[in-house]
Structure 1
Amino acid sequence: MTQVTVRNIDDEWVTKAKVEAAARKVSMNFVLREAIGRGLGVKPAGKTNGLEKFTASMPFESEEERKQWDAHMTDCGRVDPLDWQ
């Protein structure tokens, strides 16, 4: 990821971001990245646990079995932010 510096941010925006971050127990940086993504119409990718790198090593007997495995790995790869509070 690239780091970007944004200057001349309205004080009201910063205050709102701080309040929301505190209420959600996340960083202000996280809140601002979400807000920028929403403003640009970009859906966040979300965090994963990294297990998806092992899916290529699985021998599948059918395309259906591979699809089931992919669905399972997608579900297992989701990280619930509430687990880390």
Structure 2
Amino acid sequence: MTQLTVRRVEEAWVAKAKALAAERGVSMNTVLVEALAEKFGDVAKAKTNGLEKFVGSRPDGFGGEFDEAMEDCGRIDEDGWK
């Protein structure tokens, strides 16, 4: 790995990188390294099944009944942890 300095960078690019870093809770360096890796493709990307876009979502029609049915899943059997 190496370090480098980049000059004459558009202010708008810097603002976008800072905003994305803050949104994701990572450093601006991480955002920029990922952007370089994506552009030049020399760094192996983590394999994905493409389903991460569905995390935390559920189709319309699920609601109160679903949440009610799932309540038992959140209960902890205290005796089972002894």
TM-score (norm: length of structure 2): 0.51
Would the aligned equivalents of 1:34 and 1:44 in 2 still touch at CA under 8 Å?
Answer: no
Q: Name the CA distance, whole Å, in 1 between partners of 2:14 and 2:44.
A: 21
Structure 1 residue 25, shift from structure 2 partner: 0.2
The corresponding residue for 2:39 is 39
More helix by share: 1
TM-score (norm: length of structure 1): 0.49
Percent identical residues? 50
State the Cα RMSD in Å: 1.7
SS at match of 2:3: coil
Q: Name the CA distance, whole Å, in 1 between partners of 2:44 and 2:21.
A: 17
1:27 aligns with 2:27: yes
Structure 1 residue 41, shift from structure 2 partner: 1.6
Q: Which string of whole-angstrom CA distances, capped at 9 and with x for unpartnered residues, describes residues 10-32 of structure 1?
A: 11110000000000000001100
Unaligned runs of 5+ in 1: 47-85
The corresponding residue for 1:63 is none
Q: Which string of whole-angstrom CA distances, capped at 9 and with x for unpartnered residues, describes residues 2-59 of structure 1?
A: 111111111111000000000000000110000011111223477xxxxxxxxxxxxx
Unaligned runs of 5+ in 2: 47-82
Instruction: State the structure with more CA Rg.
Output: 2
